[in-house]
Structure 1
């Protein structure tokens, strides 16, 4: 008799876990839908609708070369992006503990904003759900096991805002018309292969050093200081490669990002775009 009851209890536990998993996915998806609706509702009118190569006259030479390389005269200006990613995320700051992830992301170029919705596999059958978001001038991070149990949550502090706007600027290599002066980016000369791009949104201003490869495309980005939390700011860097033409724009399909420690760079993200779709200004 006791074996029968153990079996019944085991089945009930499995059913409860299954129901909790389904509920967690449903609740997380509802939160995702609300975030992305707010992003869409916050959109601003984009002008101009098309890129005119006269716009880059007077910019630093490597920046002019970059725009001549990745977009052509008459390219429609990107208004929104939807993409899918897969890759690995390092969950440890002291050792390599790489876990696979999949993610979708929506980006609005004006007003700058994005939502990255990821599933990081902690163990087989156990995922961490992550929202990394920049919405209407505020940055936030929310991580939850199974979409039910919050393990990290940060929102709206100036340090969050700075970090997420830096991410938007770095990832503009996937939507390069957002790097044009008409879209709010100011460019300063550094040398023959690099320049500093600066973007302001509301009360937050961020800058990145962009280094360009021999073909003129973005090879690396670097911020002198990006906040990891409310008190710690460190140099932050990324690298892009595997360039391919999408909707007339030359964009990288692979990238990696990390923090620069005194002993060297420790990567925490390695990802590849598996699908990308654009909406253009109209």
Structure 2
């Protein structure tokens, strides 16, 4: 539930709950309540008091982002409406607040319940991490970099990989903004992804975005060679459903891109054929199942600064058509995450035929990254690495 809407519901619930105290006051003879003209017996006064406590508690739990707020909300709406029905002529307006609570409960179910994209993402993550082969007991050495082009080897070296465990999986959390075209409005988002590497790699990406103040759920799934991309508005209305060979190819490019940016150490074992081009460019040909994709990597002062591929076609808003266009992801602002050094900012750019038409459609900021997370533990298992922000001088 988005911040503005969440706080609106919180205010309504707390106010609605406190109003129930009027029924309790009349039922227990605490005070004269002229607004309630119908008699209220002490037993019904207890119902009004219980409703007040539970509805206010619901608002407090929702304000605190407690995941179990819906339990109190379900109980509260039932008790509250029962109390209202006993004094319908005086209290019927309170039904509107209960309808708002019901709507909030319904949204929570469709956005977090077992049929939601969020729940599907969590199930897929659990399965992917359970199957990932741990490599945390194998430490990277300089000898492991010998087969890589020097530009790639230096990128891996500068990432802090040497002397650290190899990576078989990762979980990253990001935030930023995204848009559908050069003239579309930007949507803010937070995202989480889990990648696994091995014979059948996977990339699972969950995005929680906002469009016109309405929530948008996005789920990218690549398991082995097969990929899908689905989008829902308000967790209910399908907006896009992309699948097929073009989507498989596009997500394979993204998997290659993630290797270079988020997990340089995994380039050591990745199925990539490298071709040095000049002093600052290397071409990589990456194979995943039936898909083989190519990208040109640009380096500056030992750091990767751009990734360009012609194999990641742009997708229409409904996911039904794909258009060939060069795609690039310039990255910058390298910072330290624990023992690792990674780019913390990046963009996704489309390059149509006319150079003046190229535009940025995706911006991201890397918040945390976890290497070799444990499937049996909670969401932030493994070694969580957070960016070290430089201290400003006093």
| TM-score category of the 2 structures, normalised to the smaller one | 0.7 to 0.9
Aligned residue number for residue 275 of structure 1: 368
CA distance in 1, matches of 2:123, 2:265: 27
Determine if the alignment matches structure 1 residue 104 to structure 2 residue 192: yes
CA distance in 2, matches of 1:58, 1:14: 62
- Could you tell me how far 1:7 is from its partner in structure 2? 4.1
Aligned residue number for residue 54 of structure 1: 143
Determine if the alignment matches structure 1 residue 246 to structure 2 residue 337: yes
Greater shift after overlay, 261-270 or 9-18? Answer: 9-18
C-alpha offsets along residues 187-206 of structure 1, whole Å, 9 cap, x if unaligned?
11111001012221111111
CA distance in 1, matches of 2:280, 2:336: 22
C-alpha offsets along residues 26-51 of structure 1, whole Å, 9 cap, x if unaligned?
23232122222332244346599232
Pairing of 1:202-221 with structure 2 (within 5 A):
202-214=289-301, 216-221=302-307
CA distance in 2, matches of 1:280, 1:21: 30
C-alpha offsets along residues 185-242 of structure 1, whole Å, 9 cap, x if unaligned?
221111100101222111111121110112x111000002322245421100011111
Q: Highest CA radius of gyration, 1 or 2?
A: 2
SS at match of 1:183: coil
Pairing of 1:122-133 with structure 2 (within 5 A):
122-124=211-213, 126-133=214-221
Q: Unpaired runs of 5+ in structure 1? A: none
C-alpha offsets along residues 135-179 of structure 1, whole Å, 9 cap, x if unaligned?
122111011112222111123x11111111111111221111121
Greater shift after overlay, 270-279 or 67-76? Answer: 67-76
- What is the RMSD of the two structures over their aligned residues, measured on CA atoms? 2.6
- Could you tell me how far 1:250 is from its partner in structure 2? 1.8
In structure 2, the CA distance between the partners of 1:72 and 1:19, relative to structure 1 (3 Å rule), is closer
Aligned residue number for residue 142 of structure 1: 230
TM-score by length of 1: 0.87
Task: Give 1 or 2: higher strand fraction.
Answer: 1
Question: Does structure 1 conserve the Cα–Cα contact (< 8 Å) formed by 2:134 and 2:372?
Answer: no
Question: Does structure 2 conserve the Cα–Cα contact (< 8 Å) formed by 1:257 and 1:268?
Answer: yes
In structure 2, the CA distance between the partners of 1:271 and 1:106, relative to structure 1 (3 Å rule), is same
Question: Does structure 2 conserve the Cα–Cα contact (< 8 Å) formed by 1:76 and 1:280?
Answer: no
In structure 2, the CA distance between the partners of 1:59 and 1:105, relative to structure 1 (3 Å rule), is closer
In structure 2, the CA distance between the partners of 1:30 and 1:167, relative to structure 1 (3 Å rule), is same
In structure 2, the CA distance between the partners of 1:72 and 1:150, relative to structure 1 (3 Å rule), is closer
Query: Which stretches of structure 1, 4 residues or longer, exceed 6 Å deviation after superposition?
Result: 3-6
Question: Does structure 1 conserve the Cα–Cα contact (< 8 Å) formed by 2:172 and 2:367?
Answer: yes
In structure 2, the CA distance between the partners of 1:4 and 1:184, relative to structure 1 (3 Å rule), is farther
**Which of 324, 328, 350 lines up with 1:259 in the alignment?**
350
Q: Unpaired runs of 5+ in structure 2? A: 1-88, 316-320, 375-394
C-alpha offsets along residues 226-263 of structure 1, whole Å, 9 cap, x if unaligned?
22245421100011111122343321111111211223
SS at match of 1:225: coil
Task: Give 1 or 2: higher helix fraction.
Answer: 2
CA distance in 1, matches of 2:147, 2:255: 25
Greater shift after overlay, 8-17 or 183-192? Answer: 8-17
C-alpha offsets along residues 79-127 of structure 1, whole Å, 9 cap, x if unaligned?
1111211111113x14141111111111112232121111111133x20
Using CA pairs under 8 Å that are at least 6 residues apart, name the structure with larger relative contact order, 1 or 2.
1
In structure 2, the CA distance between the partners of 1:48 and 1:142, relative to structure 1 (3 Å rule), is same
